[in-house]
Amino acid sequence: MSIQQLITPEKHDLGGFSVQRILPSETLKMVGPFIFFDHLGPSIFPAGKGVDVRPHPHINLATVTYLFEGSILHRDSLGTVQEIFPGEVNWMTAGKGIVHSER
């Protein structure tokens, strides 16, 4: 078995922490039903501060969130509020018009 391709993640600054997006990449744009593969952190935030990804839509897309440490709060325009903890999985399938945020 050999490595066919080495993908270097693209870094995005989200205000106080960075996300490294591995997929999709310039050379591998579609990888099945889960299109984004991101690595967040590790990050240490001062008390009262943290991730603040403003509300944004996902249309006809499914996302899976799995945490190793910390927690993240998912909210969406359907009224769903779910705090996600290490070892738990949050699977979101978004349809037309659903907006969500992570904090």
* 29 and 57 housed in the same domain: no
Q: Is residue 1 part of a domain?
A: no
Q: Which domain holds residue 102?
A: 51-103
* 61 and 80 housed in the same domain: yes
Q: How many domains does the chain have?
A: 2
Query: Is residue 35 very low, low, confident or very high in pLDDT (cuts 50, 70, 90)?
Result: low
Q: Give the strand order in the sheet containing 72-76.
A: 53-57, 99-102, 72-76, 81-84
* 72 and 32 housed in the same domain: no
CA dist 91 → 1, 63, 98 (Å): 32, 6, 14
Is the bond preceding 42 in cis, omega lying within 30 degrees of 0?
Answer: yes
pLDDT of residue 30: 65
pLDDT of residue 32: 56
* 56 and 32 housed in the same domain: no
* 97 and 58 housed in the same domain: yes
* 36 and 56 housed in the same domain: no
The pLDDT of residue 34 is above 70: no
Residue range 43-69, pLDDT digits in tens: 777 887 777 777 777 777 777 788 888
